[in-house]
Amino acid sequence: MTTPKTISPAAAAALLENGALLVDIREAAERQSGVIPGAAHAPLSALQACEIPAPSGQPVIFHCKSGGRTGLNAAALASKVNGCEAYLLEGGIDAWRSQGLPVTDPE
């Protein structure tokens, strides 16, 4: 298992266009402030019980609010995606939003 690499919002957006899976590890209440379209939800508090729906070989990008929690939990996140390249969204959804990338209301 390798440690996930950080990835800029622009690079993450490009990977997502090519089929990468985005996983939001924020808690449900935090998601009320907005979500990145298409992101799967796997709250950090329930990570051990979560299945990350990524086919082998599909890149997986994890994000939180500002990048702190993904960085602190990088090894645990990487362990959930065996066989996939794992990335951490640099700056979290805050950086994504500041780059003008899309954020929508949660469903």
The catalytic site residues sit at 64
How many Å separate Cα 100 from the centre of its chain?
Answer: 17
Strand pairing of 60-63 and 21-24? parallel
Please say whether the beta carbons of 102 and 73 come within 8 A: no
3-state helix vs strand vs coil in the chain, percent to 5: 35, 20, 50
Give the C-alpha separation, 67 to 56, whole Å: 25
Please say whether the beta carbons of 40 and 77 come within 8 A: no
